[in-house]
Amino acid sequence: MKWQGGLDGSVGRAAGGGKGESELELRGGDGSKKSAWCKPEKPAAFGSAQGKQAAAPQRDGMAAGASECVIESAGANGARRKRMRRVLNGPAVAALGIWLGVACVARADNRAVPKGPDEDGTKPALVKIAGEGMMDSHAFQYLTELSDEIGARVTGTPAERKAEEWGAAKMKAIGLENVHTEKYQLWRGWTRGSAQGELLEPIRRPLHVDAMGWTGSTPAGGAEGEVVTVNLFDLDSEIKEVSKLKAKVALVVTKGQPKKDLMVILFSDFASYAKAAGKAGAIALIRGTRDPENSGMNLTHTGILGFDSDSAVPILSMTAEDQGQLERYAESGKKMRVRLNVQNTFTSGPVEAANVVGEIRGRDNPEQVMVVGAHLDSWDLSEGTTDNGTGSASVLGSAEAIVRSEMRPRRTIRFVLFTGEEQGLDGSFGYIKQHRSEMGNHLGDLVLDNGQGPVKEFQLGGREDLVASLQPFAKSLRSIRDIAVNDKVESGTDTLPFSIAGLPGINMDQDSPEYKYTHHSAADALEAVKPEVLAQNATLMALTAYWIADRPERLASPWPAEKILKMLRAQHQDEMLKAFGLWPKELREAEKKEEAPN
């Protein structure tokens, strides 16, 4: 096997030898070479008395199951620099890539081979945590309380403030330390009122509509007008003809292929177009739900227009079934006329919201912090159970499993119930701002926010350098569930601010096929959740958080701006972040340095 090593261009090769011997060769970028030959002793059978004795190193003398190795180093010119003969125990041989005569890949940059719980000493604690999480979980109880006793929790509303108090009380009851709230401001508040729609021509019947969040109202009593279509995939052309919307209702359709990143179109360009439409005198815009992520079953799906974005003109979500009928009328050239009555309320200025925080303090390095979070806020067409009551209940369930196991990690685990996520990740961006001076001591954050299904992969927020480190841990979870590991950046939840800060924003992605129905809809209710899946997810969150916080080596430190810039470009996040106004000053300065002549 051959692989590319570190920035110095070093490479390594491992090959099996005869009679159980193996050779390992590392070649440096300067041409220097280091070789090792190892011959393991015949191991004792697993479970035998000899094998049990060999499992632990001897305090005096050579460890059981030791192997004899010769390490030889030669310079680029071929001159031998050093030769030594050492006796290595089993783990040391494994670190060289040889165990039981099998050759493994070594790291040419001198980093240790990644270790899982079996090797790094964390397994006994993880076993206790798994037992507490799987055998005595209260996660579904927490989710039931949040769904039924508080319900919908739009940021900045009395219901959301009640949820903050509930979250803090639960953290204290669980036994977390330093429980408190961290306040920040939302640019303005909003409360949903009523929304009715009726098709007047070519036939007469009700339309199923709901207002998008942070959008305005029709005149009291409603308004009616002719329907004209607007192509979402060509807004640059449409905005030149926005005057056609005066006293009209715009039906947003998708024709052809998008000419830009779809996220940029949906959460930046459309918001700009809506403002122009309002100035042009449009009655309302019907955005519809013709999206594979939100579809079918005669459901509307609400949401925000963009990061901290609002609109004076009403913007409506309409069911896919109603949208389909109107689109067929438009394609056949039939005149359409509708009546709409939408009444919502904005606050006159900013409103206060808060994240809820509690900790398990680290025993050795309490200043080093791993954040475990989910967003407590929700939309308001139902109970907010799957988005993201399931995540909030998992955070509380994971904290409880660790506390009840009586295992205290090396580093601090900080549990955070973020708010403002649905308005543009306001709570997690606020957290980064409030803790900016401490970010050098942060390890990253771990978030669950993709509905009601089981965890299927760890997405490491652009940190490709950590994939190999997480894989042994993920492998150790196979008795619970197979979980993949990749470096994807998830930009749609509270992992993104940490990725922008150069830390691993780890998203626990889920297999949630039914989420396309419950996402931001009237179906977002407790009936969509299986208690056993929720308990498993909470346990996996607890195990992951504890392993990261307790492993001997620190998992990650923040990257410098230059590396963050390259990563976000490679992950195709830069265009979107700039369009949303989220491109930080540090990255702008890094771009200027790149452009400056040498």
Helices (H), 211-362: 235-238, 262-264, 270-279, 320-331
- Distance separating alpha carbons of residues 459 and 449, to the nearest angstrom: 12
Specify whether 160 is located in the same domain as 97.
Answer: no
Angle subtended by helix axes 561-570 and 585-595, to nearest 10: 90
| Pick from 122, 70, 62: nearest CA to 96 | 70
Task: Count CB neighbours of 23 within 10 A.
Answer: 17
Task: Report yes or no on 64 lying in a domain.
Answer: yes
DSSP type of residue 329: H
- Distance separating alpha carbons of residues 374 and 521, to the nearest angstrom: 19
Task: Report yes or no on 20 lying in a domain.
Answer: yes
Residue 25 pairs with which residues in a beta bridge? Answer: 13, 35
What integer pLDDT is reported at residue 299 of this predicted model?
95
Find how far residue 106's CA is from the centre of its chain.
31
What integer pLDDT is reported at residue 100 of this predicted model?
33
Q: Of 306, 325, 346, at which residue does a domain stop?
A: 346
Residue 403 sits in a domain of what CATH number?
3.40.630.10
| Pick from 279, 234, 294: nearest CA to 258 | 234
Task: Report yes or no on 586 lying in a domain.
Answer: no
Q: Of 87, 113, 139, at which residue does a domain stop?
A: 113
| Pick from 310, 309, 272, 307: nearest CA to 580 | 307
Provide block-wise average pLDDT over 10 residues at a time, the chain (598 residues). Answer: 32 38 40 42 35 35 37 38 37 36 43 89 98 97 98 98 98 98 98 98 98 98 98 96 98 94 92 96 87 73 94 96 96 98 97 98 98 98 98 98 98 98 98 98 98 98 98 97 98 98 98 95 98 98 98 97 98 95 96 88
Amino acid at 325: Q
Task: Report yes or no on 592 lying in a domain.
Answer: no
The two three-digit tokens of residue 535, written as one number:
């308990």
Task: Give the largest CA-CA distance in the chain.
Answer: 93
Helices (H), 222-338: 235-238, 262-264, 270-279, 320-331
Specify whether 427 is located in the same domain as 326.
Answer: no
Specify whether 236 is located in the same domain as 319.
Answer: yes
What integer pLDDT is reported at residue 293 of this predicted model?
55
Number of domains in the chain: 3
Specify whether 331 is located in the same domain as 364.
Answer: no
| Pick from 500, 383, 502, 377: nearest CA to 449 | 377
Do residues 143 and 390 touch, judged by C-beta distance below 8 A? yes
Sign of the torsion angle spanned by Cα atoms 146, 152, 153, 159: negative
Find how far residue 367's CA is from the centre of its chain.
24
Task: Report yes or no on 129 lying in a domain.
Answer: yes
Helices (H), 225-303: 235-238, 262-264, 270-279
Residue 246 sits in a domain of what CATH number?
3.50.30.30
Sign of the torsion angle spanned by Cα atoms 118, 120, 121, 127: negative
Task: Report yes or no on 597 lying in a domain.
Answer: no
- Distance separating alpha carbons of residues 381 and 370, to the nearest angstrom: 33
Specify whether 153 is located in the same domain as 173.
Answer: yes
Task: Report yes or no on 589 lying in a domain.
Answer: no
Task: Report yes or no on 591 lying in a domain.
Answer: no
Indicate the pTM of the whole model: 0.82
| Pick from 156, 217, 213, 195: nearest CA to 347 | 156
C-alpha separations of 235 from 242, 276, 458 in Å: 10, 11, 36
Tokens 């909470």 — which residue?
538
Specify whether 166 is located in the same domain as 236.
Answer: no
| Pick from 220, 276, 222, 225: nearest CA to 249 | 225
Specify whether 377 is located in the same domain as 443.
Answer: yes
Specify whether 341 is located in the same domain as 224.
Answer: yes
Residue 207 pairs with which residues in a beta bridge? Answer: 197
Specify whether 183 is located in the same domain as 194.
Answer: no
3-state secondary structure of 51: helix
- Distance separating alpha carbons of residues 50 and 383, to the nearest angstrom: 59
Which residues form the domain of 226?
190-346
Specify whether 378 is located in the same domain as 487.
Answer: yes
Specify whether 449 is located in the same domain as 497.
Answer: yes
Q: Of 113, 141, 165, at which residue does a domain stop?
A: 113
Specify whether 355 is located in the same domain as 430.
Answer: yes
H/E run at residue 579: helix 574-579
